[in-house]
Amino acid sequence: METLGLILAGVAGGLANALAGGGSLLTFPALMAVGLPPLVANATNALAVSPAHPMAAWAQRSELPPAATLRPLLLAALLGGALGAGLLLATPARFFEAMVPALIGLATLLFAAGGAIQRALGGTPGWRPHRAMVLLLPCAAYGGYFGAGLGIMLMAMLRLAGEADAHRANALKNLLASAAVLAGLVILTGAGLIAWGPMLAVLAGSVLGGWAGGRLAGRIPAGWLRGGIITAGTGMTGFYAWRLWL
């Protein structure tokens, strides 16, 4: 039954990611619910949902900037992701567990406010590579440490760095997220933090959910799904705060 529950959570997460984003707000708590320690659930979830960004980046490769622009950004993303994973390994398990409500709450807030953040930032003209590097490192470190809401962080970072083209920013966001998460996963996998059975169950469900989401795009109002994810994230924040803080 646990495996079936994880597959269904993966389907829900993949469907959410395909239509509105925020799938990790469903899959990470599901992995904790079957008894995985928070650190293991975090690393396992990161690997289970990791194919989404590189697949999207490949589909949008024609929108990516020249290699001369990409190389330093990819290096910063890899470095930041590795630093975040290293920080995760250095975090005491009990401290990370106590942070879970705050991390889920932050990811929910980012998801809920993502549209408003994009509108507020607007499209500042003029690419600023040095600003991009400075802003990218902490974003990538967050991706290596926890990851939910990383895409919204990166989109905001790219706007602040002067990337005004939404299509190019989205393609670049997916590529940078792929690099940050990959660097973190190499370290976390080497440290033995992946629960392979649960990971494969969530991955299988996520692939199925992503396929279904692609088929259902335009049929399910994205606003309904966003509202459901925000409600679920808020509820899980409250539940884990009650369970771990009170």
Cβ proximity of 19 and 216 under 8 Å: yes
pLDDT computed for residue 123 by the predictor: 54
- What is the distance between the alpha carbons of residues 58 and 98, in angstroms, rounded to a whole number? 37
Q: What does pTM read for this prediction?
A: 0.87
pLDDT computed for residue 102 by the predictor: 94
pLDDT computed for residue 229 by the predictor: 83
Residue-wise pLDDT tens for the chain (246 aa)?
899 999 999 999 888 887 767 888 899 999 999 999 999 999 999 999 888 888 888 888 898 888 888 999 999 999 999 999 999 999 999 999 999 999 999 999 988 887 777 677 665 566 788 888 999 999 999 999 998 888 888 888 888 888 877 788 888 988 999 999 999 999 999 999 999 999 999 999 998 988 887 777 667 676 787 888 889 899 999 999 998 998
Domain spans of the chain, in order of start = 2-245
**Residue among 169, 218, 202 at smallest CA distance from 56:** 169
pLDDT computed for residue 30 by the predictor: 94
Cβ proximity of 176 and 136 under 8 Å: yes
